[in-house]
Amino acid sequence: MSDSGFRLFAFADEAGSAVSDQISAMKRNGLSGVELRGTEFGNVSDLSPEKAKEIASRLSGEGLAVWSLGSPLGKIGVGAPFEPELEKLKRTLEVAEITGAKNIRIFSFYLPRGENPAEFKNAVLDRLAQMAEITEKSGIGAVLCHENEKGIYGDSAERCLEILEEIPEIKGVFDPANFIQCGVETLPAWELLKNKVRYLHIKDALSDGKVVPAGCGVGHLKEIVAEYKALGGEAMTVEPHLAVFKGLGGLEREGERSQVGGVYVYPDSNAAFDAACNAIKEIIGEV
């Protein structure tokens, strides 16, 4: 942990797809490690045990930890076949055990557009409860962490709270920019969820949804980070989204793409990654 009291991690695949590029970016910015999502070997939930061991060895050899697995679990339609998703969860748990990750980021299923989310509450909670049970029975000690996101059941603070209260084994990941993109004000959302949040995704946005460096948008990052620290929070994952990077299109459903923010456009992915890291470091220095 740094002198600030925080451990900073990142979605380092936004700096480069290769593990070597991700290591360089994390070391250049003095980060503690990675929220592992994508590498030249594919998505984290699709890694073979051999590749997971290779990645873990290379990261640990550089003094970098795997804080969380940025899995896509739960980013399927609520009515899609569920058994393949449970099999993917089991593979992801194996990767978590190999890499030492104690957190697995998940989502709460895409809903049909225009439908009342309340109609899907029971189906969503049932699926998430099954995922939590499998995780608990695995015995590896990893925690499922639900991230608020556009288009899924948990796109509002109230529905995120439902999930976290109904299934207490699941903890929260708080992403300010994602709330902004859903028309949700971040400070009331934080007040509602703060005691159930395991860690933060550092991403800010303007009121029109364009992603900008932390502190440059309407997400109230400084206030949230300060209170998170006061509550004993230690870990944050930097998620730049400041420039389109290879693979971004596969992370969000068609029609729900993140936007690149106005003047905050960078010449390459490394410059964008460094800018995102520097922005949160400035906030940390002020809290």
Residue 1 in any domain: the answer is: no
pLDDT value for 266: 85
Q: What's the mean pLDDT in 143-152?
A: 98
Task: Please give the Cα distance from 193 to 157 (Å, whole number).
Answer: 7
The tally of CA atoms less than 13 A away on the side-chain side of residue 192 is 18
pLDDT exceeds cutoff 70 at 260: no
pLDDT exceeds cutoff 70 at 249: no
| Chain length of the chain | 287
Find tokens 């390459």 and name the residue: 268
Domain extent at residue 87: 7-286
Q: What's the mean pLDDT in 53-66?
A: 98
Average pLDDT, the chain: 93
| CB proximity list for 240: less than 8 A, separation 6 or greater | 10, 11, 14, 203, 211, 272, 273, 275, 276
pLDDT value for 264: 80
pLDDT exceeds cutoff 70 at 47: yes
pLDDT value for 140: 96
Phi, psi of 242 (to 5 degrees): -90, -15
pLDDT value for 267: 84
Give the ranges where the chain is alpha helix by DSSP (H): 19-28, 49-61, 83-99, 121-138, 157-166, 176-181, 186-193, 221-230, 269-286
pLDDT value for 5: 84
Q: State in Å, rounded, how far the first CA of the chain is from the last one.
A: 16
Residue 71 in any domain: the answer is: yes
Residue 219 in any domain: the answer is: yes
Residue pair 80/47 in contact (Cβ under 8 Å)? The answer is no
The tally of CA atoms less than 13 A away on the side-chain side of residue 41 is 17
Residue 35 in any domain: the answer is: yes
pLDDT value for 159: 98
pLDDT value for 45: 98
Q: Which of 237, 231, 216 is nearest to 26 (CA)?
A: 237
pLDDT value for 256: 46
Q: 159-188, pLDDT tens digit by residue?
A: 999 999 999 999 999 999 999 999 999 999
| Out of 131-135, 186-190, 253-257, least confident range | 253-257
Q: What's the mean pLDDT in 119-134?
A: 98
pLDDT value for 246: 45
Residue 25: CATH number of its domain: 3.20.20.150
pLDDT band of residue 261 (cuts 50, 70, 90) is very low
- Of the chain, the percentage scoring pLDDT greater than 90 comes to 89
Residue 247 in any domain: the answer is: yes
Number of neighbours of residue 196 by Cβ within 10 angstroms = 17
Residue 2 in any domain: the answer is: no
Task: Please give the Cα distance from 287 to 284 (Å, whole number).
Answer: 5
Task: Please give the Cα distance from 277 to 282 (Å, whole number).
Answer: 9
Residue 246 in any domain: the answer is: yes
Q: Please tell me whether residue 181 adopts helix, strand or coil conformation.
A: helix
Domain count, the chain: 1
Note the pTM of the prediction, 2 decimals: 0.92
Residue 122 in any domain: the answer is: yes
